[in-house]
Structure 1
Amino acid sequence: MSNLTDIKQKILQLEGGAFQELCDAYLSKIGYDNILALGMKPGTKKTTIGIPDTYFLNSQNKYIFVMYTTQQSDIYKKLYQDICDCLNPEKTGVETANIAEIICCFTSSNLSAGEHYRLMEVCRSKGVLLHLIGIDELAKEIYNRFHGLARDFLGLSIGTDQIFEYRQEFCVSP
């Protein structure tokens, strides 16, 4: 079995709180800062009720809301409801004009291109960016870039972390 398949299998075995913790760590690795895990009971892997599950501010002091789900069936319906909840000021306490982005992390791979497009349109119509991170994208990122997440959250060792890729950057002076 390939490492990528192993990663996906391990992600699918995670309970909701453990999945949220993995995704919060992933979002931190890709550059999101000051993550506030509203949907987690501190010091546990237990989820709490709240919308959004996680949030933080971007550099323009606009909110980025994050929703997580390990639900496998009716994923479009679940993501649609999560997005609508994030766009509802009565549920979040934040006006839509103050929301820059919604990120949805999910373990299903059953979202069609048409469903993906419709979800993007819901956010686009409100001037909000939508980033959908399914199990395939998450697993590839962990496999290609974040071996430590595989080790720390999934109990998988990918390589020995003794050899790092060398990337030379060139600076062209004006």
Structure 2
Amino acid sequence: MQQPNIRFDHLIKMTDDTGILEHGLGSLPRRKEGYSTDDQARALWVCLEWLGRCGEQTDKQLLSLAEKYLAFLLWAQEEDGRFYNNFAYDRSREPEQPSDDCLGRCLWACALAMTRRPSVSISLAAENIFFKALGQVWNQRYPRGWAYSLAAIGLLKRAGLADEKMIGLAGTPAV
């Protein structure tokens, strides 16, 4: 089977040593816009979807990018499991309210990493992040966050990596 001719030049250009920049002007990163955690989750998702489909050289690039985005999630996760979403280019925190979308996307990206298992370190980090964040699902208020969170839980359940007790759903009140 022929490998698809997919290039990730823009993803690579928008990514620095910290993660993917939030915005660009054409193909140029706008550093003054900083970073968002949910963009790191999206970028991780892209890498995981294409790993193993584009050839060995591209896989090495995608694996390196995936590690960078996952490291950002690890850095942005609060002690209570939530994620801080908005960071300036100097890595300082910008004012914000917690985002259900961000939590849900991070859970989804981590669940995908847990099922795809591209490397031991990625799988281990994703599992740690996922289960630390899982308790925050009950605090979500908006449907899009719920949808990503439920999709992540469903993905793990279908993959045989979670049951109700393991993911903390047993004995919880109905929403």
Q: Same fold (TM over 0.5)?
A: no
Larger strand proportion, structure 1 or 2?
Answer: 1
- Please, what TM-score do these two structures have when normalized by structure 2? 0.30
Higher helix share: 2
Q: Name which one, 1 or 2, has greater alpha-carbon Rg.
A: 1
